[in-house]
Structure 1
Amino acid sequence: MKIPINERAKALQVPGIRAFSNQLVDYPDAVNLTIGQPDFPTPEAVKQAGIDAINNDQTGYSHNAGLLELRQAVSSFFSDKYGFTYNPVNEIVITAGASEAIDSTFRTILSPGDEVILPTPLYLGYEPIIELCGAKVVYMDTSDTGFRPSPERLKSLITSKTKAILFNFPSNPTGVTLEKEHMDEIVKVLEEHPIYVLTDEIYSENTFSGEHVSFAQYESLRDRLFLIHGLSKSHSMTGWRIGYVLGPEEIMNHIVKVHLYNSVCASVPSQYAGIEALNNCRHIPDEMNKEYIKRRDFVYERLVGMGLDTIKPNGAFYIFPSIEKYGLDSFSFATKLLKEGGVAAVPGSAFSVYGEGYIRLSYAYAMPVLVEGMDRLEKFIQQL
């Protein structure tokens, strides 16, 4: 006898990113440009802090919101670098990666029937969480506005059912950043409507030129804004699973409850590693960015040289060239590229229907890998 499960869980799909990277087992000689994971090792001092925590038997539970010392380090980092302060006692929660921060926040603020606006194309790890909460995703197309959200379009999408909007800049998958002048216009619209704002700034430290501007720097949004962040990208700590959410005390008191029933607390040795990363290794992202810029410039110039329409990214480690002129949908193009060209890329459709006509390439790989990948891609395109 079959016992039914949650229909929302049944409807979940494996993300296109993973679907293509998982195919690599059948193509062992393919060049993999799918996964957004730094290829740099975790800094030695950070690793040693984790090792020391284990050796010192600091392996039990922490406070549900995380070690106060780590919350203080998070608060100090944003205060020192971006000029805004969150109280480490009651406005910061340490989570098992930024993904869990997003999950706990959405599960706290969303009710069935609510609507959440997502500027697209975007990382599709957000949509399943929203739908599991019984809420509805409303896409905002940015493919015709330079991958930046239009204030006018945002205003037109807000309804009585709109509960929240989520921003992700620097962007996955486009690498686009938002300048302050553009953010000012977006904030003007948000100030007119009582909706929550989630801002996933996990790639903020991977901004290549100019200064990253955070939505948390706008005081008018602070009573309904949740800043999502973590150490996975900035310090090459994806597997350590340290993220955090910063927000107003009144709602953070509820987020910490959802978080504790999810995971009790983040890994304690990882939390001690996080303290070291934020207090003593703030220079690490700049060192990695020097290499990312070299890789970005190489990949961008090769793509343009192949005749692919491409916006030069200013952050993260992704590039999003258009393949529309080849007459194939992005899934077919990526499949053909893998099977015949020996390069694994992510179809743009994995990032919503508004990513159709593009592919995403990650340049979080060593230069020899990128050289081989671009050589194969060029050869493949020449044969289309």
Structure 2
Amino acid sequence: MIKTGYISKTITDLKPSGIRRFFDLAANMEGVVSLGVGEPDFVTSWSIREAAIASLEEGRTSYTANAGLLELREEISRYMDKEFRVPYHPENQIIVTVGASQALDIALRAIVNPGEEVLVVEPCFVSYAPLVSMAGGVPKTIHTLKENDFKLMPEELEAAITAQTKAIMICSPNNPTGTQLGKEELIHIAEVIKKHDLLVIADEIYAELAYDEEFTSIAAIDGMIDRTILINGFSKGFAMTGWRLGFVCAPKEISEAMLKIHQYTMMCASTIAQYAALEALKNGMPDVEEMRRSYLRRRNYIVKSFNEIGLECHNPGGAFYAFPSIAKTGLTSQQFAEQLLLEERVAVVPGDVFGDSGEGHIRCSYASSLEQLQEAIKRIERFLIKKK
């Protein structure tokens, strides 16, 4: 037994990820249909895998530059400008990271001083508030509302800002709700951000998976590129979760600060994964579009089905998550998810793990085959009938 005080108080006070508990439960059960995993069910495209194999065969196994292969950063620069109209210089404004998660970490550590507030828009991915705390900051939540499809309203942002506020974290399309902020909505949010001289950490990892309207980066809004730290990667759109490769784009001064942290903690991202990502950007877009169309069909099915069986569900504009309300059952999110798993062998994630404003909902990933989604809906409907 180690002595009390050996573990950092900051880490001691952090709660474990609420997602993992349900994954661990489901892993020990047979016949489970899982709507819980937040990753594509597609295998990484063959041309991308082949590029990684070629890099090994050719002996390209040493470190790259700390910021990543220049050739890859140049390709990222072209990609971001062409697809999203956000120009970044490959020499000093782009860093290749070990997934988008590491990009979030170094972004926060580069800008946050002890005690400064970072606004976290809930429901949100489980790591946001803990990462703020580990950077020495104070996470302050903004609760979005179901009646607004969980979209951040400018007045909600205005009301949350204090003299200690340094930045805001925004994820669009959102995990867990799938909500996407449109261009006009981002313009109004940007006005508040500029008024109060805030920075934005924009998690745009699902940018390639937008369905009903063209994706707009907040960095593309007038006056925002110089105050935005833009995070993206290859996990979701390119089905490369296990490759652990992301990137972060930011103004030169912020990028240089992030690079210091990256140098000392990571050296560089995987060389092999970087060559794979280079191929993804050069030739992988047809496969991305095929996956996007498949997710769109699945989204249309699962949202329609949830509403038909009595679980009210807004239409998510992007990503691959539905976020139906289970409030009418009288169960908490945790109770619903546990009982559904034990009684019907369907794994979902309780909404409250994504923040208090997620209570009364469950996150359901539709990155599963249509057959699995149909089976899950059949079991959930049966579960609901039993609970009446």
Please state which band the TM-score falls in when normalised by the shorter chain: over 0.9
2:75 aligned to which of 58, 61, 73: 73
Letter in structure 2 aligned against 1:92: I
Paired residues of 1:234 and 1:284 also in contact (CA < 8 A): no
1:57 aligned to which of 56, 59, 73: 59
1:273 aligned to which of 268, 272, 276: 276
Q: State the partner residue of 2:373.
A: 370
Q: State the partner residue of 1:138.
A: 140
> C-alpha separation between the residues in 2 aligned to 1:277 and 1:90?
22
Q: State the partner residue of 2:50.
A: 48
Whether 2:123 is the aligned partner of 1:121: answer yes
Q: State the partner residue of 1:24.
A: 26
2:349 aligned to which of 343, 346, 350: 346
> C-alpha separation between the residues in 1 aligned to 2:17 and 2:322?
18
> C-alpha separation between the residues in 2 aligned to 1:283 and 1:84?
22
**C-alpha displacement at 1:11, in angstroms?**
2.2
Structure 2 unaligned regions, length at least 5: none
**C-alpha displacement at 1:14, in angstroms?**
2.4
2:325 aligned to which of 319, 322, 325: 322
Instruction: Tell which deviates more after alignment, 261-270 or 76-85.
Output: 76-85
Q: Once the two structures are superposed, what CA deviation does each residue of 1:246-304 show, in whole Å capped at 9, x if it has no partner? A: 00001111101101212110000000000000111122221101111111111112111
Instruction: Tell which deviates more after alignment, 335-344 or 62-71.
Output: 335-344
Q: Once the two structures are superposed, what CA deviation does each residue of 1:216-239 show, in whole Å capped at 9, x if it has no partner? A: 102412222100000000110001
Paired residues of 1:17 and 1:35 also in contact (CA < 8 A): no
Whether 2:296 is the aligned partner of 1:300: answer no
SS, match of residue 5 in structure 1: coil
> C-alpha separation between the residues in 2 aligned to 1:337 and 1:231?
32
Q: State the partner residue of 2:6.
A: 4
SS, match of residue 206 in structure 1: coil
Q: Which TM-score applies when normalising by structure 2?
A: 0.97
Task: Give 1:234-273 correspondences, 5 Å limit.
Answer: 234-273=237-276
Task: Give 1:352-363 correspondences, 5 Å limit.
Answer: 352-363=355-366
> C-alpha separation between the residues in 1 aligned to 2:71 and 2:285?
16
Whether 2:106 is the aligned partner of 1:104: answer yes
SS, match of residue 337 in structure 1: helix
Q: State the partner residue of 1:287.
A: 290
Paired residues of 2:66 and 2:263 also in contact (CA < 8 A): yes
SS, match of residue 105 in structure 1: helix
> C-alpha separation between the residues in 1 aligned to 2:7 and 2:143?
33
Aligned-residue CA RMSD (Å) = 1.1
Instruction: Tell which deviates more after alignment, 25-34 or 95-104.
Output: 25-34
> C-alpha separation between the residues in 2 aligned to 1:20 and 1:301?
25
**C-alpha displacement at 1:343, in angstroms?**
0.6
Q: State the partner residue of 1:165.
A: 168
Paired residues of 1:177 and 1:314 also in contact (CA < 8 A): yes
Runs of 4 or more above 3 Å deviation: none
SS, match of residue 223 in structure 2: helix
> C-alpha separation between the residues in 2 aligned to 1:26 and 1:268?
35
Q: Once the two structures are superposed, what CA deviation does each residue of 1:153-191 show, in whole Å capped at 9, x if it has no partner? A: 101111111011010000111111111111111111111
Letter in structure 1 aligned against 2:89: N
**C-alpha displacement at 1:12, in angstroms?**
2.4
**C-alpha displacement at 1:318, in angstroms?**
0.2
**C-alpha displacement at 1:13, in angstroms?**
2.4
**C-alpha displacement at 1:325, in angstroms?**
1.0
Letter in structure 2 aligned against 1:181: E
> C-alpha separation between the residues in 2 aligned to 1:348 and 1:159?
28
Q: Once the two structures are superposed, what CA deviation does each residue of 1:311-368 show, in whole Å capped at 9, x if it has no partner? A: 0111100000000111111001111111112111100001001100000100001111
Structure 1 unaligned regions, length at least 5: none
> C-alpha separation between the residues in 2 aligned to 1:20 and 1:263?
30
Count of aligned residue pairs for this structure pair? 384
Paired residues of 2:351 and 2:362 also in contact (CA < 8 A): yes
> C-alpha separation between the residues in 1 aligned to 2:172 and 2:33?
27
SS, match of residue 283 in structure 1: helix
> C-alpha separation between the residues in 2 aligned to 1:74 and 1:61?
19
2:216 aligned to which of 202, 208, 213: 213
Paired residues of 1:79 and 1:85 also in contact (CA < 8 A): yes
> C-alpha separation between the residues in 1 aligned to 2:381 and 2:367?
19
Q: State the partner residue of 2:41.
A: 39
> C-alpha separation between the residues in 1 aligned to 2:58 and 2:35?
39
> C-alpha separation between the residues in 2 aligned to 1:52 and 1:219?
42
> C-alpha separation between the residues in 1 aligned to 2:161 and 2:155?
10
**C-alpha displacement at 1:28, in angstroms?**
2.1
Paired residues of 1:123 and 1:172 also in contact (CA < 8 A): yes
2:229 aligned to which of 217, 222, 226: 226
Letter in structure 1 aligned against 2:306: L
Letter in structure 2 aligned against 1:90: N
> C-alpha separation between the residues in 2 aligned to 1:239 and 1:228?
18
> C-alpha separation between the residues in 2 aligned to 1:197 and 1:226?
6
Whether 2:213 is the aligned partner of 1:204: answer no
